[in-house]
A and B are shown apart, each in its own frame.
Chain A
Amino acid sequence: NAGVTQTPKFQVLKTGQSMTLQCAQDMNHEYMSWYRQDPGMGLRLIHYSVGAGITDQGEVPNGYNVSRSTTEDFPLRLLSAAPSQTSVYFCASNIGPEAFFGQGTRLTVV
């Protein structure tokens, strides 16, 4: 039981490049979400999913896409990276109201 696994742990992108941040959970949780954490700010919700095939936008969705083809995986795609997307990204899954977080992906866009 690995919990919530995020890959990669670190990534450097050039402006305009695209990439996918991976998130997988092995707890059969229906609800999954993506947050970003920036200095001096609380974590902010990017996108979430209440189950396979169902996704919706959170507070800061612009520049990001998600899909949920299986219960286990919830990848976050950056379409055209911008310096403003430099952040630490966290994926979470829930058992009921309790959220469990991955170790994060630290992304730098230059």
Chain B
Amino acid sequence: KQEVTQIPAALSVPEGENLVLNCSFTDSAIYNLQWFRQDPGKGLTSLLLIQSSQREQTSGRLNASLDKSSGRSTLYIAASQPGDSATYLCAVRHEGSNSGYALNFGKGTSLLVTP
């Protein structure tokens, strides 16, 4: 079974810092990896989707990388802002899954950016 781990579980940084969130998965046979943002009491917002053939994706201050062979992805947030405070979730679509586009989720990293 595909296991997805996110480190750290929680992170507090002052505004302006660049930061890295980590995601690892046990089985490198994946179709794609998706990063989400979840605000308290809210749904999930898709941030970046990386296909297994890609190395990275960028959107604004966010950059996600994928090293499929080592089972790792990182989400880099540049010049963090208080509005970036949220929980960030990593999810992978496993090649061995027979559930279509079903995702295996990590437990998330809770980020607090202080002014």
Q: Which A residues form the contact surface with B (CB < 8 A)?
A: 4, 6, 31, 33, 35, 40-45, 48, 50, 56, 58, 90, 92, 94, 96-104, 106
Contact = CB atoms under 8 A, between A and B. Distances in A.
Interface of A is mostly: strand
B113 to A, nearest CB: 23
Interface of B: 4, 31-32, 34, 36, 41-46, 49, 51, 89, 91, 93, 99-108
B49 A101 contact: no
Contacts of B106: 42
A33 B102 contact: yes
A103 B43 contact: yes
Given A33-B101, A45-B99, A97 B43 contact: no
Nearest to A106: B41
A97 B101 contact: yes
